[in-house]
């Protein structure tokens, strides 16, 4: 079994997240991808999510309704204390009793330059593969950061179609009162309206 793991704040989930995972699923012939909403920002300087954990989980469920190869997990949202990707991956590896090479952690290319700041990033790379998907404005670096270079065999860049959507610009559009936002599926947008999320934020 080849399992993809896609963590994120998903504040909110957008079409870029889903399209990236559809591409990676087919490109790497994965069996399924687990979407994991993060409880806390992974790095200290990241902002707190504006939607609650429950709302972010619900939005992911709504966005993935029609996607039978994608599942959602609340494994991080239930955790007490700091929440690290490395712990999530350990839990997943134990639960699925998988051989280490079968778990693929998927991130956007904006993440790669800071990946070595993630808690126990080396453990992540030793036990899992890291898939880095190209995002507009974040080209594949000519050289990996020094701390990652020795794990280059474990890191694979995937350059499929690029998607310009970002959660930040969607939140800003929503707080400006825009409707029918390009990056959101209508059901997720309806949920956001019903719950009155992102009505005040502006960056």
Which residues contact residue 196 at a Cβ distance below 8 angstroms, ignoring those fewer than 6 apart? Answer: none
Which residue is at the shortest CB distance from ligand ATP? 108
User: Whole-angstrom Cα distance, residue 42 to residue 118?
Assistant: 7
Which residues are near ligand ATP by CB under 6 A?
8-10, 16-17, 20, 107-108, 110-111, 133, 135, 163, 165-168
Minimum distance between the CB of residue 173 and ligand ATP, rounded to whole angstroms? 12
Would you say 7 or 93 has its CB closer to ligand ATP?
Answer: 7
**Residue 10 or residue 121: which is nearer to ligand ATP going by CB?**
10
Distance in Å, CB of 142 to ligand ATP, minimum: 20
Q: How far is the CB of 21 from ligand ATP (least distance, A)?
A: 9
Nearer Cβ to ligand ATP, position 99 or 136?
136
What DSSP string describes 113-182?
GGGGGSTTHHHHHHHSEEEEE-BTTBPPPSS--HHHHTTGGGEEEE--------HHHHHHHHHTT--S-T
Residues in the chain: 203
Residue among 17 and 39 whose Cβ is closer to ligand ATP: 17
């Amino acid at each position: 079994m080849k399992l993809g793991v896609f963590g994120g704040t998903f504040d909110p989930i957008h079409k870029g997240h889903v399209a990236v995972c559809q591409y990676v699923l087919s490109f790497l012939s994965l069996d399924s991808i687990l979407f994991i909403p993060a409880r806390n920002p992974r790095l200290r300087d990241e902002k707190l999510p504006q939607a609650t954990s429950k709302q972010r989980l619900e939005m992911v469920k709504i966005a993935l309704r029609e996607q039978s190869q994608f599942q959602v997990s609340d494994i991080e949202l239930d955790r007490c204390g700091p929440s690290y990707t490395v712990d999530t991956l350990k839990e997943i590896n134990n639960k699925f009793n998988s051989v280490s090479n079968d778990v693929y952690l998927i991130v956007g290319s904006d993440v790669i330059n800071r990946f070595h700041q993630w808690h126990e990033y080396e453990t992540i790379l030793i036990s899992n593969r890291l898939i880095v998907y190209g995002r507009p404005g974040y080209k594949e670096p000519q050289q990996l950061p020094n701390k990652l270079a020795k794990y280059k065999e474990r890191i694979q860049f995937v350059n499929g179609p690029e998607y310009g959507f970002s959660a930040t610009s969607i939140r800003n559009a929503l707080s400006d009162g825009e409707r029918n936002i390009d990056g959101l599926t209508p059901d997720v947008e309806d949920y956001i309206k019903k719950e009155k999320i992102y009505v005040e934020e502006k960056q």
